[in-house]
Structure 1
Amino acid sequence: MEPPASAIMVPVSGEELRGAARDEAVRSFYEAAGWRACWSAAAERELLETLDRRARHGLDRIDFGARPSSSDSALERELKLTRLALAYASALAYGAVDPSSLHEIYTLPRPAEDVPGELAQAMAEGRAGLWFASLAPDTEEYRHFSTAYLDYSAKAREEARDQLPDGGVIHVGDHDSRIVAIAAQLADNGYLTSEDRLVTERATTGGRAIYTASMKSAVERLQGDYGIAADGVIGPDTFSVLNLRAPDRARALAVAMERRRWMPRSKPATRIDVNIAAARLQYIRDDVVVDERRVVAGRPDRPTPLLSSPIFRLVANPTWTVPKSIQNTELAQVDAAYLQRNNMVLRAGWIVQGAGPGNALGQVKFDMRNGQAIYLHDTSAPALFDRSERHLSHGCVRVEDALGFAQMLASDEGILEQWLTAREVGQEQFVALPREIPVRLLYRSVLVRPSGDIAFRADPYGWSEAVARHLGFTGNGRKSQPAAIDLGP
C-alpha cells in the first residue's frame, strides 16, 4: 500500500524495521504496510491528539506506552508511534483487557478486528483519524456512558463534600441531622423529586429533619437498584451507597464501557439477554425488546458464568438430576425419608427428582447448549422474585413466570400447539425449537434508562474490581453476600 503523496516519511529503511520490530502485532503492521516507515509529522500529531481524547472512553488512566522524545532516533520514534497506535486501537476495538484472563468461564464472542492490518490500510489511505473514531461501539448507550463518565470525572475533581456518618439506623418518622443531606443526594440521583426535597428542608427544626414516607419510597427504590433489602430503613448498607461519590460512579462507567468493547459490534436480531448483575432478562425479537422480567441468578459463591449459549428445546415437566456439587455437599447426609418427601430417588449413584410442582426446575426448563450445565428454568420458589437481591441460585437462571415465557417463545416460533400438548402429558417431554434462540449471559452494573438517565447497580460478584484495576482505578465496589436459600440449580 503506497502512502499518500503528501506524507513526509520518516527516513527509516525496511531493513531497519525488520531487525527492530520484534512484537508480533508490530511485525504484522509493517508486513501489511510493505515494511515501509509510516509516520509523518502530521500522522504523529493526529495520533497524539487522538490519545489525548481517550478520556471519552474511560481510558485516561492507562499508559499506552512511551511517547516519542527529541532524543529518539528516527527508528525509535517510528516504533514508539506504532506501538502507541496499536495499543490504543486494540483497547478501543476489543478492550484494554482480555475478559478470558479475568473469568474462569467466558464464552461470549469477542470482536474479530485485524487491528494491525486495518491500521496500515487506514494510514496508507490517509484516514487514520476516522478509523480510530470508528473502533469503539457506535451506540446510544455507549455515548451516554461516555458523556456521563466525563461529567462524573469533572465532578470528581471538584467534589469536596464529606461522607455521611453511618452511625445509627434511621426509620420513618425519626428526626435526624443527616436527613437533609440524604434528601439532597437522593434528589441529585433522581430518586426524590425537587419538591419533596424542599419539603424536607423546610421542615427542619434545630438542624434535624423528619424522615418522611416520600423519602422512604425514594430510599426503597435506591435499595432495590443496589441489591439491598428494600425496607426503607437507612442502615450501614444504604449509607455505603449514599456515600458513593463521583469518583466511584466514574469508575463504574469506565468499567461499563470496557465491557461493551469486549462485545462484537453486531448482535443477533432475535436473542435473550440476561443481565446477571441486575438479575433481569430481556427478550429481543427483530431488534425490539418485546419482554422483560426478573430472574434469580447464581449466588456469589456459585456465580452464573458469562456465556453465549442458545436455547435449542423446551422441556415440559422436567426431572432434575442433582449435580454432584450439590449431592456431595448440601445433600450429603440426607436419608430415604428426605428423598421420599421431595419426590427423589437414587439412580445409578445420582439423586433424581421427579417431575411435578415441587421440582426444583419448576414446570419448564429451557435447554441450552454449553458444557457448564447452565440453563434457564422455572422454579418451585416463586416468592424469590419479589426480593431485591436475587443472587440466590447454584448458577442456573430461574425465570419469573417461566411458563408464560415458554408459551411466548413457543408462539413466536410456531410450535405453540406442540408445546401445550407436551405440558398436558404431566411427564417429562421435549419440544425442539425450529431454530435455536441465542442467549447471552452478561454482567452489566451500569444501565441507561429509556429516559437516557444512568442507573447504577451493585457489583454482586465483585467482578468489576479486576476490570477497574486494569483501567487504572482504585477503590471498591459493593459486593453482595446473600445467604443460601434452597437447593435448586
Structure 2
Amino acid sequence: MLSTGTAQAQTATIGTVARPADTVVAIDQRDVTNPGLRTLYAKSKWRALWSADSTAALESALADRGRHGLDRLTFEIAASPGASAAAMDVARSQAALDYAEALANGRVDPASLHEVYTVPRPKTDVVAGLGGALATGRLDEWLQSLAPQDAEYRTLSDAYVRLSRAAAAAGPVSPIAGGLIRVGDRDARVAVIADQLMESGYLPATTAATSADAAQASVSPSPQPLIYTQALADALKGLQKDYGIAADGVVGPETLKVLNLGAGDRARALAVALERRRWLARTPPATRIDVNTAAAQLRYYRNGTMADERKVVVGEPGHETPALGSPIFRLVANPTWTVPKSIQNGEMANVDDAYLQAHNMVLRDGWIVQQPGPDNALGLVKFDMANDQAIYLHDTSAPALFDRSQRHLSHGCVRVEDALGFAQMLADDEGVADAWQAAQASGETTFVPLPNRIPVRLLYHNVYVGEDGTVAFRTDPYGWNDAVAEQLGFAKASARRAEALAIDVGP
C-alpha cells in the first residue's frame, strides 16, 4: 500500500519478526487479497517468502528510492503492531510489489491523465519477477534492474539528488520582484539574479569574474545596486532560450517567473521527468522519430544512432499535441489540406468566396479543401501517420515560426523545420528517393509508400538531457506536470505555461 509522505521522508521501516531459521511459516490464504500476491504465495504452497537477507535488501532499496524521485512516497508495511510472522511476510511482499511496480512501469498511469495516450509502455511482470528474486536471493539486483538503465535516466537521477539536497539546504527563498532591467542599469536585484544564473549553470565563474560587479554578485547577494552587464545579459539569454522566452537578455516579468524557480522547483520537475521515462518501453525501436512536444524538438534515430535533430511547431494550449505512438507509413508530395470541421466551423466560420479564392481553397462536399501549392498550410510534404486522431507531421507555409523560442502554435499537428529536407532524408534511408523526387516534380498530390513504417513517439519531456550531456529545462507549456507531481507527493505549483497565440488556422 502506498501513502504520501513528507518531503523529509527518506527511509521506510520494514518490521522484522525473529524466528528459528528452520521454522516454516504458513500463510493464511484469507490474509492475502491482492491477486498477484495470491499467485505468488500459491506457487510457494502458501509458505513465507522472506528471508532476513531479502528483508535487508528491501530496506536498503527503499532507503535509496530518492534516486528515482520517489522519496516523497512512503512504501509502508500495512501490518498492525505485534503482527504475526505470516502477516509481516505478506506486508513485505505488498510493499516490495508496490515499489517494483513504480520502478518498472511508473507510479502514475498516464492513461488516467490523458484522454489519448498510446506511446508503447513497458511490459514487466513484477509479480513473477518478485517471486524469482526472492527464491534466488537476488532481490537487490532485481530491483535495481527495473528502472531505465540508460545514461539519460542516470543523469536526471543524479541531478534530482543534487537539487533536492540544495533545496533542503537553501530553505525558503524570497522571490525577485520589480520591473525591467536592461544592460547598463544599476539595480539591487542584479546580485541575486547573477547568483541564480551561476547556480543554474548559465553563468560560468570565469565569466562572472571578468567584471567587478559580476564578481561581487557571484559571492553573495548585496543590497547595493550593481550594474547589469552584457555578460549577465548573455547568460540570461541562455536561460530565456531554454525556457521558451524571447531571448533578448532583458529581465522582464516572464523571465522573473523562471528566475524565481529555485532548486526545489527544478527538483520537482526532475522527479516528473524520471517518472515519465519509467512509462517508456526500455528498448525503443532502433529506427524511430521522437518528437518532444514540451521542447518543440524532433530527433530522428537510425539504427540506434541519432541521425538528425530539428525544430518543430506543435499544438498550442487548448489544441495540445497528444501523447501518441504512431508510425509514418508514407510521404505525400504536394498535399491538399481538408480543413477540419472544428476549424471550418470556428475560425473560418464566416469566410467568403474571396477568402477561399485568395487561399487556393474550394468547397467539396461541404468541406473546405486547400489545393496543393507552396501556400498550402501543409506546405509541400505531409508525413502520413497511422492513427485515428488525424495527427501527423508536415511542412508549413509559415517557416518564420521556427525562429521563435516558444513554438506551441499549431492546432495539434507537428510542423517540421525544413520538412522537404527531412522527407528527402527519410526517402534516401528507405530506398525510395527516386519515387519521392518524381512525386515532388509532378506538382500533383502523390503518395509514396515507405517500405518500412517508421515509429514516431510524441513525448512530453520538459526536462531532458541535451546533446552536450547537460540537463535542459523547459517550461510546462501544457500544464501536464502538476497531476504527475502531486501523485509523487509534491505540492501543487504554479509553473509558467505557454499561452495560446492563435498564429494561424493551420493544422
Match of 1:61 among 54, 58, 72: 72
TM-superposition CA deviations, 1:398-454 (whole Å, max 9, x none): 000000000111111111111011001111100001111111100111112344321
1:453 aligns with 2:464: no
Match of 2:486 among 460, 469, 488: 469
Q: What does 1:214-253 align with in structure 2 at a 5 Å threshold?
A: 214-253=231-270
**Residue 11 of structure 1: CA displacement?**
4.4
Aligned amino acid, residue 421 of structure 1: A
Q: Secondary structure at the match of 2:60?
A: helix
TM-superposition CA deviations, 1:2-55 (whole Å, max 9, x none): xxxx994774425x1x22211222223223434322012332222122111111
2:31·2:87 contact (CA, 8 Å) conserved in 1? no
2:191·2:216 contact (CA, 8 Å) conserved in 1? no
TM-superposition CA deviations, 1:147-197 (whole Å, max 9, x none): 111111111111047434321111222221111221222122222232332
Match of 1:145 among 156, 181, 187: 156
Aligned amino acid, residue 423 of structure 1: Q
Aligned amino acid, residue 13 of structure 1: A
1:10·1:39 contact (CA, 8 Å) conserved in 2? no
* Separation in structure 1 between the aligned mates of residue 501 and residue 381 of structure 2, nearest angstrom: 26
Aligned amino acid, residue 420 of structure 1: Q
* Separation in structure 2 between the aligned mates of residue 305 and residue 161 of structure 1, nearest angstrom: 36
Partner of residue 332, structure 2: 315
The 3 A distance-change label for structure 1 pair 399 and 329 is same
Number of residue pairs the alignment of both structures matches: 482
* Separation in structure 2 between the aligned mates of residue 91 and residue 226 of structure 1, nearest angstrom: 29
* Separation in structure 1 between the aligned mates of residue 67 and residue 78 of structure 2, nearest angstrom: 20
Kindly report the root-mean-square deviation, in angstroms, between the aligned alpha carbons of the 2 structures: 1.9
2:214·2:232 contact (CA, 8 Å) conserved in 1? no
Partner of residue 101, structure 1: 112
- Sequence identity of aligned pairs in percent? 55
1:168 aligns with 2:176: no
1:89·1:135 contact (CA, 8 Å) conserved in 2? yes
* Separation in structure 1 between the aligned mates of residue 43 and residue 375 of structure 2, nearest angstrom: 62
Q: Secondary structure at the match of 1:152?
A: helix
Match of 1:417 among 423, 429, 434: 434
Aligned amino acid, residue 224 of structure 1: K
The 3 A distance-change label for structure 1 pair 100 and 460 is same
Partner of residue 506, structure 2: 488
Match of 2:227 among 210, 213, 216: 210
The 3 A distance-change label for structure 1 pair 371 and 31 is farther
1:296 aligns with 2:313: yes
TM-superposition CA deviations, 1:88-111 (whole Å, max 9, x none): 000000000111001110001111
TM-score by length of 1: 0.95
Match of 1:433 among 444, 450, 475: 450
* Separation in structure 2 between the aligned mates of residue 7 and residue 251 of structure 1, nearest angstrom: 45
Partner of residue 208, structure 2: 197
* Separation in structure 2 between the aligned mates of residue 161 and residue 73 of structure 1, nearest angstrom: 44
1:317·1:355 contact (CA, 8 Å) conserved in 2? yes
Partner of residue 284, structure 1: 301
Pick which of 99-108 and 69-78 moved more: 69-78
The 3 A distance-change label for structure 1 pair 195 and 297 is same
Pick which of 231-240 and 58-67 moved more: 58-67
1:338 aligns with 2:355: yes
Aligned amino acid, residue 199 of structure 2: D
1:32·1:116 contact (CA, 8 Å) conserved in 2? no
* Separation in structure 1 between the aligned mates of residue 339 and residue 44 of structure 2, nearest angstrom: 57
5+ residue gaps in structure 2?
Answer: 1-18
Q: Secondary structure at the match of 2:75?
A: coil
Aligned amino acid, residue 132 of structure 1: L
Q: Secondary structure at the match of 2:357?
A: helix
The 3 A distance-change label for structure 1 pair 478 and 233 is same
Q: Secondary structure at the match of 1:358?
A: coil
2:214·2:229 contact (CA, 8 Å) conserved in 1? no
1:83 aligns with 2:94: yes
Q: Secondary structure at the match of 2:74?
A: coil
The 3 A distance-change label for structure 1 pair 207 and 262 is same
Q: What does 1:9-158 align with in structure 2 at a 5 Å threshold?
A: 11-14=24-27, 16=28, 18-66=29-77, 71-158=82-169
Q: Secondary structure at the match of 1:318?
A: coil
Pick which of 243-252 and 373-382 moved more: 243-252
* Separation in structure 1 between the aligned mates of residue 188 and residue 66 of structure 2, nearest angstrom: 38
The 3 A distance-change label for structure 1 pair 361 and 450 is closer
The 3 A distance-change label for structure 1 pair 469 and 12 is same
* Separation in structure 2 between the aligned mates of residue 415 and residue 48 of structure 1, nearest angstrom: 56
Aligned amino acid, residue 480 of structure 1: A
* Separation in structure 2 between the aligned mates of residue 20 and residue 384 of structure 1, nearest angstrom: 61
**Residue 456 of structure 1: CA displacement?**
1.0
1:328 aligns with 2:339: no
**Residue 217 of structure 1: CA displacement?**
2.0
**Residue 68 of structure 1: CA displacement?**
5.1
1:10·1:38 contact (CA, 8 Å) conserved in 2? no
Aligned amino acid, residue 201 of structure 1: A
TM-superposition CA deviations, 1:282-334 (whole Å, max 9, x none): 01111111110000000011000001100000000000001111111111111
